[in-house]
Every structure is written in C-alpha cells, then in structure tokens.
Structure 1
Amino acid sequence: MKNIDDLYKKLEVLEQKQLYFQKEIQVLKQEIRHFHKSVEETVPVHQTDIPVQKIKVNKKEKTPVSFNFEKLIGENIINKIGIIITIIGVSIGAKYSIEHDLISPTTRILLGYLVGCILLGLGYKLKTKYLNYAAVLTSGAYTILYFITLIAYSFYHLLPMWFAFLTMCSLTILTVFTALKLNKQVIAHIGLVGAYAVPLLLSSNSGNIKTLFVYIGIINIGISYIAIKRYWKPLCYNAFSVTWILFISWFFKDYEHEQHFGIAFGFLNVIYLTFYSISLSYKLIKKETFLASDVVLILCNTFLFFCLGYLVLKNYLPTKNLTGLFSIYIALLHGLVAMFLYKQSVKDNNLQQLIIGLCILFITLTFPIQFDGSWISIFWIGEAAILFWIGRTQQKGFYEKFSYPLIILSFYSLLMYWFKFYDASGAETKINLFLNPYFLSSVLFISCMSFMNLINLKHKNILNYESNLYRIFSRIIPSVLIISIYLAFYFEIATYWEQLHQKSMLKDEMMINRSILKFKVIWLINYSLIFMAILNYINYIKIKNNSLAKVAMTFSSLFTFIYLTFGLLNLSVLRDLYLNNVQHATTYFIGIRYISHLFMGLLFYTVYLNRKIFSNVFFDCFSHLVLLWILSSELINILDLFTNLPSYKLSLSILWALYSLGLICLGIWKQKQYIRIAAIVLFGAILVKLFLYDISHLGTISKTIVFISLGIILLVISFLYNKYKNIIDNKID
C-alpha cells in the first residue's frame, strides 16, 4: 500500500509538471508565430540563410502573462463559479417550487436526480480531454444528488430512512472513488464540502436535526478517508470549520435540553473523534512531521468538544453532576492515544507531549469541576508530585515543568479552603483539634510537598540545572512546604480558641471572652516561636542549607519582635485580670508568661546555633536588646505582683543602668568595642529619660535613690575604664 501511495504522489507531481509544460509549450508556440511574422515583414523571401541571432523579435508583441491569466480564469475559475451558481440555482428553484407547489414532489425529486445524472454523465464523457472541467462537473453532480436525496427523505418522506441512508452512503463512496480515481481534490471540495450547504439552503425549520447530523456524519466519513488517502489537508481544514460552525449555530439558536440532549452529545463525540482521528492519521500513516497547524487543529477540536459538551451536560438535569466524569472521559481518550503512540514507537516528542499534556490538563480540571473544597488541592498536589517525580528522576523536563503550575494552583486552592472552612467551622460547628477532615487535607498536602522536596534534594535536574525556572522552583518547593506546615497547625490552634470564644459568648461572660482572645494570641505566638525554633534546629543539624537559614533567621527575628510587643502586652492583660480577681482567673494567667519565655528561650538558642550567618555586631546587639526587653517586662510583672508602687520609672532606670554596667564589663572582658559603645549609648538614654521624664514624677526620696544609684554606677564604669585601659587600648575590635 505504501508503494501505491508513493506512486500516486509521483503521478500527481508529474501531472502538475505536465500542466506547467503545456503552458510553456503554448507560450513557445506563440513566440514562434511572432517570430515568423517578424521574419516575413523584415527579411526578403530568398534570404533563407540569415543567422538566427540577427533576427530581431518584437518583444512588445509577447503576451504570455496576459495569456496565462486569461487561461487561469477561463479554464479554472469560471467553471468552478459556474457549477456553484448552478447548484445554488437548482437549490433556489427547488425551494421556490416547494413553497409555491408548482410541481408534484415526486416530479421535483426525479428532475433533481436527472440534473445530477446529466452533469455526472457530462463529466464522465469529458474526463479524457478536459480533466479539470470534468472534475468540476462531477463534483457539482454529486452535490446535487446529495441534496435531492436529503429533501426526498426529510421534506417529502418519499424515501424510507434506511434507503436514504444507504443512498447517501453510496454517494459518499462514489464521491470518494471518483476523487481518488481522477486524483482531483476539487471533486472532494465541491462535492463533499459543498454538500454541507444543502441543509442551509433548504432549511424550512422542520426541526429534523437528527437527519442533518447523520447526513453531516456520512460526509465527514468520506472526507476523512480522502484526506488521509490523498494527503489533502485543506479538505480536512474546510470540513472541520464547516462542521463546527454548523453545530455551534444550531446549538446556540435551536438547542433544547430535554429534546436534543442525546442527539447533541452523541454528535459532539462523532465530530470530535472524526477530526482527532484525521489529525493522528497524518502523523502515523503519512509519517508527517508534527506542525503548528496540527497543534492548532487538535487543540481547537478538543476545547470545542469540551466546552460544548460541558454546556450540554451542565444544563441537563439528569447529567448535571457528571461534568467531572466528562473531563475524565476526555483525559482517558488522550491517555489511550498516548499509550498507543508509545507502543507504536512514535519518536516525535512534540506530538507525545501535546497528547500527554492534554491528558494531564483534563485530569487536573476534573476535581474543580466535580468537587468543592480541599479535595481539589489534594488531587492537584498529588498529580504535581507524580509529574515532578517522573520528570526529575527520569530527567524529563517536560513532566517537571508541567508540575510547576500545579504546585502553585494547589497551594492557592488550599489557602482558599483554609480561610473559608476554618472560619466557618470556628463560627458554626465544633471540630476536634487535629482530628478533623480539614487537618487531614493539610497532612495529605504536606506529605506530597515533603515527597517533592525530598526528590528535589536527592536528584538534580542535569538538563535544566542552569534554567532560571529550575532554580526558582528549587526554592519555591521547600518554601511552600514550610509555609503549609506552619499554616496547617496555625489554623488548628486558632480555630480551637475561636470555638472557646464562641462558646463563652453564648454565656455572656465578657471577662472570660476577653481572656480567651488573649490566650488565643499568646498561643499563636508561642506556636510561631517553637515552629521557628524547630526549623532552625533541623536546618542546623540535618539540612544545613545556608539560604534556608537566612530565611528562617529573618522570620525568627520577626516573630521575636511580635512576641516582645503583642505577646508581652497580652501577657500583661492576663496578669491584670488575675490581679483584679476576675472569675475563672487562676495562676495559669501568670504561669503562661513563663511558658512563653521558655519558647522564646528555645528560639533564641537555635538562633545562637545559626549565628554564623549574622555579623557579630548584629547578633550581639539583637541578643542584648531582647534580653533587656524581657528583663524590663519581668521587673514590671514582679512589681505588680508583690508591691503597690504607683510607677515603674525608678525601677526601670536602675535596671537599665545596671545592665549598662554589665555591658561595659562584658565589652572589656570580651574586648568588644561595639558592646562598650552600646552600653554608653544606653546610659545616655537613661540620663535623658531621667532628666526629661522621671524626675518630674518622683518624690524626694525616689530622686535621691535614683541619683545616688546612677552616680555610683557611673563611677564604677569610670573605674573599670581606668583599670583596664591597657587592655582597651591594645585590643579594640
């Protein structure tokens, strides 16, 4: 069969060359006639031996271009226009006779068949000498026979359905046979594609859409065979465009859900599978390189099928909930094609990747179409994990790149799910801490992200190692993992306290409500502190990633600042509630402070382990600032619990001064100049505070204590500088 197809191709090429040579021969004959005429006019008859090169030919009399253009119009364009006008005229005349009842239905049908047969006979008679002209007549004849058969069955019911169906199948076979026999694409174009216009020209709004679709299906089968057999791709493109235009026009104009559901959905499948098969056949049978036009055809065919099929199913009540299954059906079709291509050892990666990509796409679309909630995210991240694993371990960048948008989509979907359902659960229904479907969804998501992160660490993508996209997602994957772990527990803790708050509001206990909200803030901060402490420690012991350490240190600093501000403020409110003997206020209102300090200490310890990523100046200043802040808060807490002092100004000033003295000692001992300078700056701030703020609110005894204390501390500092001046002068950092 392959040799026969090759011979047909060669024959077609030779015929085209023959037409070209015929045109050249006509031009040469015309030039020879002009040549003889010029010789007769300029040279005596007896001078027959004149050299050819001396003969002057009047070039102005050559008109090959004009002649060729005329030949093109006269021999090719006019006959095609003529047959089209003939078909339209027959159609209009038939329609007029129908509307005005001029002749009987049987006579109309017989006359129509007679016109078609006459044209067919003329085409057969003239095919030897006038092949192109005969092809046009033949194609017009088949079009008329198609349309006569259609109206005989659909309008007049003169033919039974089986006979009309058999007749149109026979006409399709004859058209295919004639087009292949004469090797003329024009027969297929006018004869088959032109047949699409018949129902439009004869439309009487009869609503017999089933007959129309069967009619179009038969034509498409013929077109499919010819387009593949003779490699006539324009025929396929024309049929594709006309078929979808006809269906879309009918769907948005006359489609009714209850009446036309089966017809519409069935014909959608026929259209889709027909043109999908044609597209693949070009590649498999003809061994054609997969081109951009083929990609466009497959994509347009697939998305038209999906969009229209989705509308058909969604708007029909019994199938309203089957739209996700429809997406799976399309994905399954592409999956089967991909398997078939693999077994056929098709080496064109463009085709295989397109089919696999479409399969993945429609699998991805299934869950958002069919379901709501977290299962969308779980499905997407699971799919992303599989693709990432295949792409990275098998060094197939296509699969890995396809997982990237799925990671982003799944994470975004999970965030939306968290914000929506945790808020609703906290306000309306009771959920058990860590034993609920929301947390289960988070665990599944985290498991998939952990798997991808493990693959990312163990396997480097050699092919795409220098790619910016590869480097970006090598950082995005661990980042999404860390954020998802943090937020999964964060929302659980927040929801637990929110439910307690909702429960207390029902009892109208205002103070308890206030304390619960404070505990919520504190425990969320505590959780953030311990989370960062664990992350810092794991990175220090196991991962040892410098980039992760820097990011973790940044967030550790942020959560430390939140603890020193909002955390200590809320702890102070709980202390005040305890001191005011609010109902249900226990020593836990005080003890929570030291639990929080413990978490802060653990975080600070892990920051200390990773201190190498900071400069010594920054780390030391940060550490002493945190320590002084917490000591100041504890001093206020102790004064509130055990004394009735009206002000903290005196105590804080003395504390800061003593701490400044300690910094001086530390700076001298460690030989760190910046610590000593920081101590002096702190002491200067104390003096400014003392004279501008404290002194106006202090009594005589308090003023005496403050001034004596600060004076002694200053003297001690001065003594230390004098005693250790040699050390300070010799070794200054």
Structure 2
Amino acid sequence: MIGGLLVILLCLYFINKNINTKFEKLEDTIVNLNKRIRYLQQKTTSQEQKTNSIKKDPVIKKPDSIIEKPIVNKPIDDISKKTTVTETIPDKSSSVLKLKPTKKEVIESISKVVSEKTKTEPKKPWFETFKEKNPDLEKFIGENLINKIGILILVLGISFFVKYAIDKDWINEPARVGIGILCGSLVMAIAHKLKKNYVAFSSVLVAGAISIFYFTIYIAFHEYQLFSQTIAFSIMAIITAFSTLVSVTYDRQELAVLSLIGGFATPFMVSTGEGNYVVLFTYIAILNIGVLGVSYFKKWRIATILAFIFTILLYTGWLGSKINDPSFSHKGALLFATLYYFIFSITIVLNNLKNKGVFSTIEYFIFVANTFIFFGIGMVILKDINSNFTGIFTLLLAIYNLVYAIILFKKFGLDKNAIYLLIGLALTFVTLTIPIQFEGNQITLFWALESVLLFWLSQKSKISSFKFGAIIVQVLTIISLLIDWERYYSSESFTVIFNPLFIAGFIVSVSLFIIYRLLKKEKDVITRFFTFSIKFYKNVLVLATVIITYFTGLLEINYQAHQFISNQASAISFPVMYHFVFVSLILYIASLFKKKNISKGALIVSTISIILYIVNFYKLPKTEIINNLVENTTSNYAFYFHYIILACLFYFGNQLLTTTTSLFTINTKQNKWLPWLFTFAIVYVLSNEIMVHGLYLSNSLSSDEITNQFSDSENNWYEKFNYAKKQINNTATQIIKIGYPILWGVFSFIFLIIGIRKQWKNLRIIALSLLGLTILKLFIYDIKNVSETGKIIAFILLGILILVISFVYQKIKKLVVDENSEDEKI
C-alpha cells in the first residue's frame, strides 16, 4: 500500500513539473510566432511602399492636334529634335496587383528558400545537431533527461522498499511478486493516461513498467520458484510481445530497443543451465522476425542492428561452448545458422526495397558480415564432423548470392551497388570452392577456367566487376601453379607429358592467351578510383604467357631427363637445349610480327644466354665424356645437342648485329666495344668447338682402363672422376697448344679481309690484335711440353698465315693509309 502511494505521489510530482514546463514552452512559442508575424508585416509594408514610389511617374501631355506637313528633305538632326516621343503608362491597378504579393506567397517563398537551404547543407556532426535541437540545455535536462533518471530512481525505490519489506517478513513470497506486478501495472496505467498529452514522458513510464515486469518474473522464478521454467519463459515472452506492441502504439523507437533487449535477455533470466537449444533458437528466430517486422514498417534501423548483433553473440557463444560436447547436434546447429542467415539477408534487402534508396554503410556491413559469419559457422560445423561437403556448402552459398542478385535486379530493380556486392560475393565463394573441395593441380585448373569465364562474362554483361574479379583469380591461379611446381616436381613420379603438373601449366598458358585474345578490342576501364589500362594489362598477359609456357616445358623436360638418364651432363643438356630453342622461337616470332617490346626482351635474354654458354654451358660435352668414362656409359646427348645450341647462338648473334641499331639506337660499327665483344664471343665459341671435337675423336682413354685402375677400391666414384678428368685435361691441353693457334690465325685472316672489304678499321685492328695474341701465345705457352709433330704443324701453318696477311696489307696499302671516314672513327 505504501509503495502504491509513493508511486502516485511521485507521478503527481512529475506531472506537475511537466505541466509547468509545457506552459513555459508554449509561452516561448507564442512569443516567437508574434515576432514572426511582425517581421512578415514589416516586409510586406516595405514592398508596398516601394511599389507606390515606382508608380509616381510624370504625366506627359498629349498634343491637341497633329498638323500634316509635306515631307521636306532636312537633316536627320532636325527631324530628331522635333520628333515627339509618346510613352505608354501602365495601368495602375494592374501594376499594383503584380507587384504586391500576398502574405501567403511571402511565407511560401521564405519556406521554399529555407527548405532549399536545408537540402544543400552538408550533414553536421551529431553534437552540432544536438545543440540545434536542444538550444536550451536547461529545458533538455528538465524535459528529457530528468524523467528518465526519475523513472530509474523510482524503480530502485520500489526495489528497496520491497527488499525492506522482505527483510522484515512483512510480505510472503507470492505477495511480493504480486506487489511487483501491481506496481508495474500501476505505472503502465499512469503512462497510458498521460499518453495523449505527454508522449515522451509516458513512454519513459512504459519502459519502467516493462522493466518492473521483467525483474518481478525473474525473481519469482529464480528466487522463489513460484513458476516452472516453461511458465516463466512464456510469461516473459508475453511481456516482450506486449512491449513490442506498445512501442508500435506509442511510435517510440526506444521502447522497441527495450523490448529487443528484454526479449534476448529472457532466455538467460529463466535459464537453469540445462536448456533445450531447439526451443531457444526457435524463440530467437520468432523474436527476430517480430522485431525486424516492426523495424520494416517503422523504419527503425537501430532495431535491425541490435537484433543482428545479439543473435550473432548468442549463437556463436553457444556454438563455441557446445561444439565439443558428445551430444552436440551438428545438423540442428547448421539448420538454425542457415535460418538466421536467410532472415537477415532478406530483411536488409526488404528495407532497401521499401525505402527505394541506396544501401547505407551499416547495411552493407551487416550484409557482408552476415554472409561471412554464416560461411565461417558452416565451415566450423562441417569440418568438426570431417565432412567432405565443405566445397559443396561454399558453392551453394555462391549460387544463392548469384540467384538472389539476378532476381532482385530483374524483378525489383535493387540498388546496382548492392547487386554488384552480391555478384562479388558469388564470385568469391566460387573461387573459394575450388581450393576447399579439390587438391593440388585441380585447384589451378579450375581457377584458370574460372578466370576465362569471368572475362567472357565481363564482355557479355558489360559489368567491370567481373573483369577485376577475373584478374584476382588469375593471380591466384599463377600462385597455385607455382606452389604445385615446388611441391610435386621434387617428390612425385610422373609420366611423360600426360601428368597433372604439365597439363596444369599448359592449361594456364592457354587461358592467359585466350584472355589476351578476348581483350583485343577492349577499351580502358575507368572507375571511381583509377583507370585500368587494357594495353598495359595485355602486355602483362603476353609476358606471363611466355614465362609460364617456358617454365612449364623446362621443368617437364628437366624432370623427365633426370628420371631416365643417369649421366648428369647428358640430362642437363636437355633443358639447356630447350632454353636456347625456346628463346630463338620467341625472338623469331617477335621479329615476324614486329613486336618491338617482345623483341627487346628476347634480345636481352639472348645476350644473357650467350654469356651463360661462354661461362658454363660450353663444358657440358666435355663433362659428358668424363661421366661416360667413369660410369661406363655411352650417352652422347650433350654432344649432339650442342650443334642445336650452336645454331641458336649464331642466330642470336645475327639478330643482335641486324636489329640492335633499330631497337636500341646503337650503331655497331661506330660503337667502341661491341665489335670486340662480338669477335671475342665468336672466337671463344669456335675454339670450344675445336676442343669438343678433338676430345670426342681422341682415343686417349677408355672406361675399361679406368675400371681396371680402380678395381680394388670401394666407393671410388670421385677417385675415378678425378683421374678421368686429369687425363681428359691433358688431351685438352694438347688441343689448346696445337689447334687454337691455327684457328685464331685463320680468324685473324678472315676478320682482316672483312675489315678491308667493308672499310671497317676497327675490325682490322681486332684482326691484328688477335694475330699478335696468337704469336705471343705460341712462343710463351704453346712451345712448352708439346709434341714435335704438333709444334711443326702449328709453326708452319701460322707462319704461312702471317705471310699471307702481310701480303694482303702490301696489296691494299693505298686503301689502308690515311683512311679517315666518319664511320671508321674509333
């Protein structure tokens, strides 16, 4: 009884306080309206005065009669002086009507200006908006803040009173619950009574009444055990439904938020730790549908946001705590996760369709977060049961988003950005399906095909998002291919050509080439943030195609050669030969189709290849001979392949000589160092040919001799190798001392003849320098430890060559002396 009187007294006090506040507010409003009326009256009066001043024009007398006179040829100035000008005076009444606006027009014009200004004004920070809505802080506190604090204090006061009565044993348990319900009903009745005149205050009272109901039922269940769990849960559900209905009736968003919080708190308030998840999540689903329905009709976005957050927190918390239990139901958990995903994905779109606007940032966030959270939950549940349906689950999610996008675009005309988002989600999940469901090179194959499909779709649909998605998938494809190469070529055993890795590399190369062809007629794509250059991307595609094709063949040939050939030098000669042939083909194709950028790149690679041959690859045939002797094999692949490599080297040299000037603006004749480099490479390569053929034709050592020499030793491979290498090097030394001087002398003669015919002084100097080097080598190095026969042959032939060169110089001395043409300056 005392509690009821206290409630009534407090309510009367707040009512009186609010009535006084309302009267003060009404007085201020009347004063402002009077000021506005006086302002409009003054403005109208000033406009009328301005109109009257315009009307007071001088009256021009009209002449009584006009005397006709014959036209006399007079000057124009005289005529203009006597010409009478008449002026039409507008009607007084009509001008007044046009110039004098009514009060209604003035007010409408002012309101129009104000409304236009409001539309163009930028969005202000929330604090500035708060100050504009509540310029008087005292009024805000008195009218808005105090009543909320008051209802909180009232609830606490009632709680303290009830606790005091309980401590004194004045009230038994059912009576205590009854008093709580009675107090809540009394506050609700007062709120309903004040609804018409005090909407804000009455809504605060309603919130207090609902809070009293919730806590009363909570205490009745947990402390007093007056209800069973089912009855307590049902009562709280009814309270939630009732509070939601009241929020709609009062049209108060904060009541809807309170109902939502109370609804989600209900399961915890009646929980005993042994709840049924089916009942719990069914209740949450019904609660979400109800609250989201209210949010849809009332445009209360905050309710949607809170419902999403509370649902995710509740579900993920339950999933994390229960998934390891033996009794955990994976099917039920996935079913409810799917239900919640559909509820929120459909609700967000329905709100947008109703409002016929674009998605807000928070709506985009909820949409994307809802999708990926559901995807994560589904993957966790399916992997927990070791299911093979993770890929199918991902694919179904992609199909749902794609079908959803098509329906919403064709039937309802949803915001295009939202459609692109759905398509992007679909593409993302299709891309994720491949590595989730498949393994190894299957991922690479599917991604390669998907990139082609996306580029084709971008052309057909004119949607640039497909193009950018395809580029991302292409990058993933190449990364996946590199991982496959690194992982499997070092550990697996594959058949020739028809193996997964070679096929994957081939398909990726073909996909890149197809995309290059698809982009042949494409134009640059201009987006909000950047311009996507199709020309640049086509060059990237060409480069990627060439590189991937090259490494696909190189790795396959290298792998299979080492699988079937024991001689390491012979096995290495296969990929080396492939490298030179591949570079030659690229250089030929680039020259044929006049692709300057590709030709430049190929020439640079050709130059590097020549250097690699001079530094390393030249010795493969020699190493092959040594390995044959040690391992007692007859492999000659390196020897025969070196002819193909030699042809490629000469092709590289010819291309460098003929196209360097046009591609790199370098004149080979006028350049100081290029002729020296070219002649050095030629002499070095052909000197190596003398060495290779000399070793292959030599019978200085056989594998039987080596076997007999090391028959008694164990683990003697390195000993055999060093012995064979020493014997081969002895033979090579003889070839260097006998064959090189003759070859270099011949080259000196050839370079001299060419230099004379082409009038190329630099080449003649190179010829003489090579000849001088040959003579020095002959007397300093070659004369030592060489056979008599070789010494005789070398000296005789070299002497003859030197005499011939001298004779040639004597023959053409007039051409050589005083040669100062521009193209022969050094």
Asked whether the two chains share a fold, i.e. TM above 0.5, the reply is: yes
The change in CA–CA distance for 1:421 and 1:66 in structure 2 (over 3 A counts) is: closer
Match of 1:651 in 2: 739
Which is further off, 354-363 or 380-389?
380-389
- Match runs of 1:268-287 below 5 Å: 268-287=337-356
* 1:699-718 → structure 2 map (5 Å cutoff): 701=791, 704=795, 708=799, 711-712=802-803, 715=806, 718=809
Question: In structure 2, do the counterparts of structure 1 residues 72 and 689 end up closer, same or farther at CA, with 3 Å as the change threshold?
Answer: farther
Aligned pair in 2 of structure 1 residues 668, 192: CA closer, same or farther (>3 Å)? same
Counterpart-to-counterpart distance in 2, 1:632 and 1:237:
82
Which range moved further: 171-180 or 476-485? 171-180
Q: Does 1:729 align with 2:820?
A: yes
| Corresponding residue of 2:582 | 531
Choose the corresponding residue for 1:432, options 495, 498, 507. 495
Task: Tell me the amino acid that sits aligned with residue 362 of structure 2.
Answer: S
Q: What is aligned with 1:228?
A: 296
Match for 2:600 among 541, 546, 550? 550
User: Is the CA contact 1:79–1:133 (under 8 Å) kept in the aligned structure 2?
Assistant: no
Equivalent residue number for residue 35 of structure 1: none
Alignment partner, residue 217 of structure 1: 285
Q: Secondary structure at the match of 1:285?
A: helix
Query: Does the Cα contact within 8 Å between 1:27 and 1:64 map onto a contact in 2?
Result: no
User: Aligned to 2:640, which of 583, 591, 599?
Assistant: 591
Contact 1:536–1:610 (CA under 8 A) maintained in structure 2: no
Q: Is the contact made by 2:624 and 2:635 (CA closer than 8 Å) also made in structure 1? A: no
Query: Partner letter of residue 549 of structure 1?
Result: S
Residue 489 (structure 1) aligned to one of 553, 572, 579: 553
Deviation, 1:467, is 3.2
C-alpha distance in structure 2 between counterparts of 1:84 and 1:550, whole Å: 85
- How far did 1:704 drift? 4.8
In 1: Cα distance, 2:308 partner to 2:209 partner: 23
Give the corresponding residue for 2:456. Answer: 389
Judge which range, 220-229 or 114-123, deviates more: 114-123
- Equivalent positions of 1:50-449 (< 5 A) are 65-78=136-149, 81=152, 117-142=185-210, 174-256=242-324, 258-260=326-328, 261-317=330-386, 319=387, 321-344=388-411, 346=413, 348-391=415-458, 396-425=463-492, 429=493, 431-449=494-512
Which amino acid in 1 is paired with 2:589? I
Per-residue Cα deviation, 1:226-254 (whole angstroms, up to 9, x for no partner): 22212111222222222222223333334
Contact persistence 2:177–2:216 (CA under 8 A): yes
In structure 2, C-alpha distance between the alignment counterparts of 1:566 and 1:498, rounded to whole Å = 19
- Three-state SS of the structure 1 residue aligned to 2:357 is coil
Q: Assess if the C-alpha contact under 8 Å between 1:525 and 1:562 holds in 2.
A: no
* Distance 1:336-1:378 versus aligned 2 partners, 3 A rule: same
Helix, strand or coil: the match of 1:259? coil
Contact kept, 8 Å, 1:395 with 1:462, in 2: the verdict is no
Letter in 2 for 1:416: I
What do the CA deviations read for 1:687-707 (whole angstroms, capped 9, x no partner)? 665566555666884685587
Q: Offset at 1:360?
A: 0.9
1:31–1:341 CA distance, 2 compared to 1 (3 A):
closer
Q: For the Cα contact (< 8 Å) 1:453–1:477, is it kept in 2?
A: yes
Superposed, 1:595-674 pairs within 5 Å as: 595-601=644-650, 612-614=662-664, 615-617=666-668, 624-642=679-697, 646-647=733-734, 648-674=736-762
Partner of 2:26: 25
Greater Cα shift, 192-201 or 718-727 = 718-727
CA positional deviation for 1:343: 0.6
Match of 1:510 in 2: none
Structure 1: distance between partners of 2:641 and 2:456 = 45
Equivalent in the alignment of 2:50? none
Deviates further, 675-684 or 176-185: 675-684
Q: Over the residues paired in the alignment, what is the CA RMSD in angstroms?
A: 4.2
The CA deviation at 1:550 is 1.4
Change (3 A) 1:608 1:453: farther
Separation in 2 of the partners of 1:85 and 1:716? 126
**Deviation by residue 1:160-205 (Cα, 9 ceiling, x = unmatched):** 97x9998777666544443233211011011123332333445442
8 Å CA contact 2:289–2:343 kept in 1: the answer is yes
Distance 1:730 1:563, change over 3 A: closer
* C-alpha displacement of 1:119: 4.6
CA distance in structure 1 between the partners assigned to 2:266 and 2:572 by the alignment: 75
Q: Is the alpha carbon distance of 1:417 and 1:678 closer, same or farther for their aligned partners in structure 2, counting shifts above 3 Å?
A: same
Residue correspondence of structure 1 range 673-688 to structure 2 within 5 A: 673-680=761-768, 682-683=770-771, 685-686=773-774
TM-score (norm 1): 0.77
Contact 2:752–2:763 under 8 Å retained in 1: yes
Q: Distance in 2 between matches of 1:350 and 1:85?
A: 50
Structure 2 residue 616 is matched with structure 1 residue 561: no
In structure 1, stretches of 5+ residues that fail to align are 1-19, 33-62, 502-512
Kept after mapping to 2: 8 A contact 1:660/1:680? yes
Question: Which position in structure 1 is the counterpart of 2:3?
Answer: none
8 Å Cα contact 1:385/1:448 also seen in 2: yes
Distance in 2, Cα, partners of 1:84 & 1:409: 61
Whichever residue aligns with residue 224 of structure 1, its letter is L
Q: Which consecutive residues of structure 2, in runs of 5 or more, have no partner in the other structure?
A: 1-20, 34-133, 701-730
The question of 1:575 aligning with 2:625 is answered: yes
Tell whether the 8 Å contact from 2:292 to 2:347 is kept in structure 1 after alignment.
Answer: yes
CA distance in 2, matches of 1:28, 1:180: 29
Q: Which is worse superposed, 352-361 or 639-648?
A: 639-648
How far residue 388 of structure 1 moved from its aligned partner, in angstroms, is 2.4
Pairwise CA distance, 1:525: 0.9
* Identity across the alignment (%): 23
Is the Cα contact below 8 Å between 2:741 and 2:774 reproduced in 1?
yes
CA deviation digits over 1:62-90, x for unaligned, max 9?
x9835224314545532564588699x69
Q: In 1, are the aligned partners of 2:458 and 2:466 still within 8 Å (CA)?
A: yes
Deviation at 1:414, TM superposition (A): 0.6
1:575–1:584 CA distance, 2 compared to 1 (3 A)? closer
- Mapping 1:496-511, distance limit 5 Å: 496-500=560-564
Q: What is the alpha-carbon distance in structure 2 between the residues aligned to residue 467 and residue 460 of structure 1?
A: 11
User: Structure 1 residues 653-662 or 148-157, which shifts more?
Assistant: 148-157
SS in 1 for 2:823: coil
Give how far 1:449 is off.
1.3
> What do the CA deviations read for 1:331-383 (whole angstroms, capped 9, x no partner)?
12211221123213636332222221111111111122222201212222222
Which structure has the highest helix share of the two? 1
* Aligned residue type for 1:628: V
**Residue type at the aligned position of 2:549:** I
Instruction: Please name the residue that 2:112 is paired with.
Output: none
